[in-house]
């Protein structure tokens, strides 16, 4: 365990003669939230210390003592033996207070040419950058699960919907590939966000820079940034990177929620398209027959919290004049909560996709309902009889009305029935009325024909796996 502290360290108390009110201490403290930044805070302090020594701003002996002490502090926190003190405001104060206990006077040199404003901005950027790197891998894992399931069902016919009404037959593989593309855009947005984020605020000071001869390029390089932020006011007051991260997270969560909603529908008795095993369902305390898709429902619900996090941080930032204001202490809770919720949702969704067992017979039956090949009939009239599409559409509508009246599928109508509406129709028309024929005919790029689906899977797999790892 770290040694007890006789007197809490404050970083700003010289001008004050009285202590803050208890409620002031409580509302001002952020340690229960920002303790998650300890590794980033220590990394920034290491880079800053090394730069101060290299620039001759602090003696090498002091720098070595600071670096050694930071190693100890980091090890204590990582091991869970570090004592967090509610009297200390934040992670920055905790690290520096423990450093004072370990090495004494040299610890006071660490904060030379640095403010908590540029310190926390740097820490938070480092944390969000790591979160983006992690997110990229988490999304890719779900993409791989979807690709594997799509490959296994490239020919499995199911209904495609508009307005939740049967529209045209598609394959399950084609349907799942739509989510692979959504997630690819999410990965692209995450990578774009990382590029814009990757500027170092360190050295901007409280807001105006510093008179010390610091080397901001050295600290930026040491921390893996592309370079230093160009304007000191913007460097300490910018939270665009956090808002953009939440935008990425919100879009991804929205995509997951749509997929979760389909899993919920598909696993219901009204659809019976898929079955989830005991691993991803729960029972009822009262109703013994129930198998509830709770994992999917929770993914759908967590999207609401992530959308709220984005809205909340936008509201915090919208009225702040330059540069820093304490309002910005509220930037981290929504980001941390969104990151946790999204990581859990992605892992749960990957598990559900891998776990789910499609009922191919039920999917095939549903694909043939609702006259799903009506468009194929209209297209046949255009191709074979040379009609314009609008008259073909009207004729097909009349044939659908007849099938509805007879209570049968389009292919169950006799040739005489069809010719009574359009005399030019021949026996050839039956080749396009079955759902298998319909699916096979959709060979345009991006279409649902199994051969196109397999090509799309191969291309997407190569695209997903060939992207360089972030971080």
**HSE (CB half, 13 Å, CA atoms) of 59?**
7
Residue 115: name the closest of 228, 204, 7 by CA.
Answer: 204
Q: Is 85 helix (H, G, I), strand (E, B) or coil?
A: coil
Residue 449: name the closest of 170, 259, 260, 175 by CA.
Answer: 170
Helices (runs of H) and strands (runs of E) counted in the chain: 19, 6
> What are phi and psi for residue 161, nearest 5 degrees?
-120, 150
Please, are residues 200 and 470 in contact by the beta-carbon 8 Å criterion? no
Residue 149: name the closest of 175, 168, 187 by CA.
Answer: 175
* One-character DSSP codes across 367-409: HTTT-TTHHHHHHHHHHHH---HHHHHHHHHHHHHHHHHHTS-
- Active-site residues: which are they? 163, 284
Print burial letters for 298-314: b (CB count within 10 Å at least 16), e (below 16): ebbebbebbbebbebbe
Beta strands at 199-200 and 227-228: parallel, antiparallel or unpaired: parallel
> What are phi and psi for residue 67, nearest 5 degrees?
-65, -40
Helix (H) or strand (E) holding 471: none
User: Which structure tokens are listed for 183?
Assistant: 């997630």
Distances (CA, A) of 70 to 42, 108, 124, 258, 282: 7, 13, 19, 46, 47
């Amino acid at each position: 365990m770290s040694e007890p502290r006789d007197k809490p360290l404050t970083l700003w108390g010289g001008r004050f003669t009285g202590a803050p009110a208890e409620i002031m201490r409580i509302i001002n403290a952020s340690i229960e939230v920002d303790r998650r930044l300890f590794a980033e805070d220590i990394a920034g302090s290491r880079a800053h210390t090394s730069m101060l020594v290299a620039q001759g701003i602090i003696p090498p002996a002091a720098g070595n003592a600071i670096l050694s002490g930071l190693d100890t502090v980091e090890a204590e926190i990582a091991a869970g033996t570090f004592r967090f003190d509610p009297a200390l405001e934040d992670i920055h104060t905790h690290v520096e207070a423990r450093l004072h206990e370990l090495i004494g006077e040299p610890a006071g040199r660490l904060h030379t040419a640095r403010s908590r404003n540029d310190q926390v901005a740097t820490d938070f950027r480092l944390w969000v950058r790591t979160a983006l790197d992690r997110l990229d891998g988490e999304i890719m894992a779900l993409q791989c699960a979807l690709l594997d399931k799509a490959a296994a069902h490239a020919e499995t016919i199911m209904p495609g919907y508009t307005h939740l009404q049967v529209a045209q037959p598609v394959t399950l593989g084609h349907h799942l590939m739509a989510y692979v593309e959504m997630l690819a855009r999410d990965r692209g947005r995450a990578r774009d966000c990382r590029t814009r984020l990757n500027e170092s605020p360190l050295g901007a000071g409280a807001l105006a820079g510093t008179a010390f001869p610091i080397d901001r390029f050295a600290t930026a390089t040491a921390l893996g940034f592309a370079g230093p932020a160009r304007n000191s006011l913007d460097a300490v007051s910018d939270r665009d990177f956090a808002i953009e991260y939440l935008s990425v997270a919100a879009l991804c969560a929205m995509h997951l929620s749509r997929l979760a909603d389909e899993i919920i529908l598909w696993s219901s008795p009204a659809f019976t398209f898929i079955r989830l095993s005991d691993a991803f369902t729960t029972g009822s305390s009262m109703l013994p027959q129930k198998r509830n898709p709770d994992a999917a429902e929770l993914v759908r619900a967590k999207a609401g919290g992530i959308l709220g996090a984005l809205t909340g941080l936008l509201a915090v930032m919208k009225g702040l004049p330059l540069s820093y204001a304490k309002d910005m202490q509220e930037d981290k809770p929504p980001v941390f909560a969104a990151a946790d919720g999204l990581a859990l949702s992605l892992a749960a969704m990957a598990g559900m996709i891998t776990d789910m067992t499609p009922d191919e017979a039920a999917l095939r039956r549903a694909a043939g309902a609702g006259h799903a090949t009506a468009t194929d009939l209209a297209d046949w009239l255009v191709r074979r009889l040379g009609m314009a599409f609008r008259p073909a559409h009207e004729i097909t509508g009349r044939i659908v009305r007849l099938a509805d009246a007879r209570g049968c599928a389009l292919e169950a109508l006799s040739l005489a029935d069809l010719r009574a509406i359009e005399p030019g129709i021949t026996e050839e028309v039956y080749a396009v009325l079955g759902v298998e024929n319909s699916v096979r005919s959709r060979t345009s790029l991006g279409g649902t024909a199994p051969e196109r689906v397999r090509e799309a899977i191969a291309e997407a797999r190569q695209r997903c796996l060939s992207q360089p790892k972030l971080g």
